[in-house]
């Protein structure tokens, strides 16, 4: 896997890295949506600024709103100013980039639009010298996936027109809503596309610190001998957001935090922490090991769901907003939400991985909305030392060592060890050895979408989910969702906005440890 930071060390290095990458056309479905404005276009333009886009390169925006090339380009300029102010939206770099963006007004469910798309792509191939390579990016609601996939196939746009060229399809999550819908979506995809063409995107996998988990584990000899149930007591993964619905109430009512964050983001991180060393760093070798982890997790019975899962929903409370404590409403008062909603905005799980390395080590996962901090962290808590050596001393108990991997924000890692405090007494305290990306490297961290779009064009699927990986995750989570429908719902709301979730989450830890709440 190639790091964006290493590719952006000057134009000559970038050009050398791109020698094997061919020009292509990038077709964007859902081009007038929020994801395009906030993430995709800023990511593409940033890659252009870094000389990382292949030349030539063209973008075709496929959407139904009444726009033309010039009006759409002007809107995208304003989006870059708003969401990527560090990029030069004025001047020759933007002007050159914008001239390669085209707007095709068409509806997603009519064949005529796809015929015109094919004509325009062939015209752009001739105009720019693009050899027929395509990236189709589905930045649309999931309800539109089937129609787009089918129409691309029926229009003959799903396969390259010439031998030696390529067509790739990028599809945003969610990949289904349960195991049955995930299998149905995979069947629809595979009716028109080969698995090698399909790039299921989860932006968490594009984050530098998620990628660094593999390097931290397998490039440092000090960790691998300890990375097992003999030395590790438990693993905790926290995915917390301060935001409420922000206009997404209608979507979230159908999703809940488990579908929105646990089934994908949290389980992706868990598999990277728990996987065995792959035979190499190619896409399928990495994904093979991740699938093995998912298949090794003990399935949930209805009794397990009642015992080892906790769900919550936030009520009104006070949140820190720009340094001030402000009152915010509860979930049921959000726009688009049923006033009697039983949708969970918090979920906590205890997972058991039943293999040789991890037998007996609980993996705790918690994810929630309206938490005190926006943070994603992994805590590896090592087992405590035997008490025989220090037990006779009049001193506080020695805390177990911890390795904390910070995925966002303040990306980095910390290792907590025990040291003697200065003075005549034998007093020991935990101290932290800290690594931060922001201060350790001169190159700034890039947005996850830059890396994932870059890898799509390069044809590197290492950071994308494979069909069996998606289905294995849903096979694990679907019984939980079904059991929750049959179990009596907790009395919602059961935690206040601005707190770390319901008190019942502590029951998962059975008094053996405590939740790690990021400081």
Active site residues per annotation? 265
Nearest 5°: CA angle at 148, between 104 and 155?
A: 75
Kindly provide the b/e burial profile for residues 377-389, where b requires at least 16 CB atoms within 10 angstroms of the residue's own CB: bbbbbbeeeeeee
Sign of the C-alpha dihedral computed for residues 171, 174, 176 and 182 taken in this order: positive
Kindly provide the b/e burial profile for residues 38-62, where b requires at least 16 CB atoms within 10 angstroms of the residue's own CB: bbbbbbbbbbbbbbbbeebbbbbbb
CB 54 within 8 Å of CB 162: no
Q: How far apart are CA 175 and CA 474, in angstroms?
A: 9
In the chain, the N- to C-terminal Cα span, in Å, equals 32
Q: How far apart are CA 104 and CA 77, in angstroms?
A: 18
**Residue 256: exposed, middle, or buried by beta-carbon count in 10 A (0-12, 13-18, 19+)?**
buried
Q: How far apart are CA 44 and CA 255, in angstroms?
A: 29
Rg (CA), the chain: 24
CA trace torsion 246, 249, 253, 257 (10° rounding): 0
Q: Phi first, then psi: what are they for 61, rounded to 5°?
A: -95, 120
Three-state DSSP class for 317?
Answer: strand
Which residues on neighbouring strands pair with residue 137, listed in sequence order? 28, 170
């Amino acid at each position: 896997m190639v790091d964006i930071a290493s590719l952006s060390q000057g134009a000559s290095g970038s050009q050398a890295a791109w020698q094997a990458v061919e020009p292509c056309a990038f077709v964007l479905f859902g081009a007038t949506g929020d994801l395009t404005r906030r993430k995709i276009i800023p990511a593409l333009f940033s890659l252009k600024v870094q000389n990382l886009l292949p030349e030539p390169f063209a973008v075709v925006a496929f959407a139904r709103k009444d726009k033309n090339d010039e009006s759409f380009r002007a809107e995208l300029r304003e989006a870059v100013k708003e969401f990527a102010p560090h990029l030069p939206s004025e001047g020759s770099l933007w002007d050159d980039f914008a001239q390669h963006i085209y707007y095709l007004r068409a509806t997603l469910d009519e064949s005529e639009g796809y015929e015109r798309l094919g004509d325009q792509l062939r015209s752009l191939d001739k105009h720019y010298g693009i050899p027929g390579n395509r990236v189709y990016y589905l930045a649309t609601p999931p309800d539109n996936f089937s129609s787009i996939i089918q129409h691309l196939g029926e229009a003959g746009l799903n396969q390259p027109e010439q031998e030696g060229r390529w067509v790739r399809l990028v599809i945003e999550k969610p990949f289904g809503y349960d195991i049955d819908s995930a299998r149905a979506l995979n069947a629809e995809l595979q009716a028109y596309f080969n698995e090698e063409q399909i790039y299921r995107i989860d932006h968490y996998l594009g984050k530098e610190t998620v990628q660094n988990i593999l390097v931290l584990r397998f490039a440092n000899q000090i960790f691998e001998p300890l990375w097992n149930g003999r030395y590790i007591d438990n693993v905790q993964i926290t995915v917390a957001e301060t935001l409420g619905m922000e206009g997404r109430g209608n979507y979230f009512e159908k999703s809940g935090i488990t579908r929105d964050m646990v089934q994908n983001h949290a389980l992706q991180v868990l598999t990277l922490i728990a996987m065995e060393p792959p035979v190499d760093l190619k896409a399928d070798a990495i994904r093979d090991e991740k699938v093995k982890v998912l298949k090794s997790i003990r399935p949930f019975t209805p009794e397990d769901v009642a015992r080892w899962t906790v769900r919550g929903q936030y009520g009104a409370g006070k949140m820190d907003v720009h340094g001030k404590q402000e009152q915010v409403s509860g979930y049921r008062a959000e726009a688009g939400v049923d006033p009697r909603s039983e949708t969970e905005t918090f979920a906590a799980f205890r997972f058991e991985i039943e293999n040789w390395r991890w037998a007996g080590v609980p993996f705790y996962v918690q994810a929630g909305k309206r938490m005190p901090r926006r943070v994603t962290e992994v805590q590896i808590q090592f087992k405590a030392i035997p008490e025989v050596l220090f037990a006779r001393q009049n001193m506080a108990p020695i805390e177990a060592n911890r390795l904390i991997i910070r995925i966002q924000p303040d990306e980095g890692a910390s290792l907590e060890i025990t040291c003697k405090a200065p003075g005549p007494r034998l007093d020991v305290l935990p101290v932290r050895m800290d690594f931060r990306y922001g201060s350790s490297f001169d190159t700034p961290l890039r947005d996850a979408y830059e890396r994932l779009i870059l890898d799509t064009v390069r044809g590197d699927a290492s950071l994308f989910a494979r069909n069996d990986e998606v289905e294995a995750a849903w096979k694990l989570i679907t019984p939980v969702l079904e059991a929750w429908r049959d179990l009596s719902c907790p009395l919602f709301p059961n935690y206040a906005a601005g707190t770390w979730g319901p008190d019942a989450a502590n029951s998962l830890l059975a008094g053996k440890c405590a939740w790690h709440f990021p400081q």
